[in-house]
Amino acid sequence: MSKFCPYCGEELIDNAKFCKSCGKSLEDFKSSPGTQNIQYPPSAVENDHTFATVLGYIFAILIPLFGIIISVYLLTRNDSQKAARHGKYILILSIFIWIISFLLIR
């Protein structure tokens, strides 16, 4: 059974002392009486920005400038680590495609 952070709802690994998402100490929470066996479901579904991610990859290949714009959008999303990771990949792909296209035009 999965455990979740009581502060932000992020799924935790076994024996975690700190939440990997919000960084809050779980030791204080575990030491409180009556809270040892409580399981917390995520408070909200993480917004993974799937539509923007898919558009970002498509634009990174077809129109790198738009890929860069979407990657910056994804990189600035504080509500999803997954979106930020894809934003970084899209940015790298967009710049790579843009450089290759300039080299092929010359």
Whole-prediction pTM = 0.57
Q: Are 78 and 87 in contact (CB under 8 A)?
A: no
The string of pLDDT tens digits covering residues 4-32 is 777 777 788 878 888 877 878 877 665 55
Please state, in angstroms and rounded to a whole number, the distance separating the CA atoms of residues 87 and 94: 10
CA distance readout (Å), 45 to 32, 42, 104: 27, 7, 44
Alpha-carbon torsion, ordered 33, 14, 50, 67, to 10 deg? 120
Residue range 65-81: mean pLDDT, rounded:
91
Q: Residue holding tokens 């997954």?
A: 82
Please state, in angstroms and rounded to a whole number, the distance separating the CA atoms of residues 90 and 95: 9
